[in-house]
């Protein structure tokens, strides 16, 4: 790899899916020995400054992932310049990110599950559902994180 890549995970609220992706990917990157800049953000500002959702934390912390210090923030203009991979959790996030950015950055914006070998194309929004939704979020994120690490190792 030529230089340290920078990865931004994006969902709607930045309190459930993208902070979980940040926590899981951070840990897997550490185990892999790669060096990656990692952050997460939301396309909307409903919960700016809030810590990740307790339900997301409960499911992921029981599997050993850590959310310490994470706080919700909104996607900002310079993110499109700063990050090499801007990974959306669902099609709606993807389309919002493209609307928010200049065309020259669109090649960086992808679905996170493009890196998972799974029939799901989206990490479904768990916010208004039950525990099973949060468990599915974690499972998909673990799979895509492994795929993204495998991809980064080829760069």
Active site residues: 11, 17, 125
Number of residues that bind ligand 4NP (CB under 6 A): 10
Q: Work out which of 106, 127, 146, 147 binds ligand 4NP, going by CB under 6 A.
A: 127
- 88 lines the binding site for ligand 4NP (CB under 6 A): no
Contact 34, 22 (CB under 8 A): no
Cα separation of 4 and 65, whole Å?
23
User: Does position 97 bind ligand 4NP by CB under 6 A?
Assistant: no
Cβ neighbour number for residue 130 with a 10 Å cutoff:
9
Q: Does the footprint of ligand 4NP cover residue 15 (CB under 6 A)?
A: yes
Phi, psi of 39 (to 5 degrees): -155, 170
How far is the C-alpha of 122 from the C-alpha of 51, rounded, in Å? 23
Is residue 14 a contact point for ligand 4NP (CB under 6 A)? yes
- Positions 35 through 64 that interact with ligand 4NP (CB under 6 A): 46
Rounded Cα–Cα distance for residues 70 and 48 (Å): 11
Site residues for ligand 4NP per CB under 6 A: 11-17, 46, 125, 127
């Amino acid at each position: 790899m030529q230089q340290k890549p920078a990865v931004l995970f994006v969902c709607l609220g930045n309190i459930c899916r993208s902070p979980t992706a940040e926590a899981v990917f951070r840990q897997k990157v550490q185990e892999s020995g790669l060096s990656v800049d990692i952050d997460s953000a939301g396309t909307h500002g409903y919960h700016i400054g809030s810590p990740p959702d307790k339900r997301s934390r409960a499911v992921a912390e029981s599997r050993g992932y850590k959310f310490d210090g994470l706080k919700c923030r909104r996607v900002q203009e310079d993110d499109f310049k700063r990050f090499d991979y801007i990974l959306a959790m669902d099609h709606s996030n993807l389309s919002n990110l493209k609307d928010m950015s200049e065309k020259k950055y669109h090649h960086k914006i992808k679905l996170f599950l493009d890196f998972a070998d799974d029939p799901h194309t989206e990490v479904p929004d768990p916010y208004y559902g039950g525990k099973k939704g949060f468990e599915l979020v974690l499972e998909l994120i673990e799979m895509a994180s492994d795929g993204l690490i495998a991809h980064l190792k080829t760069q």
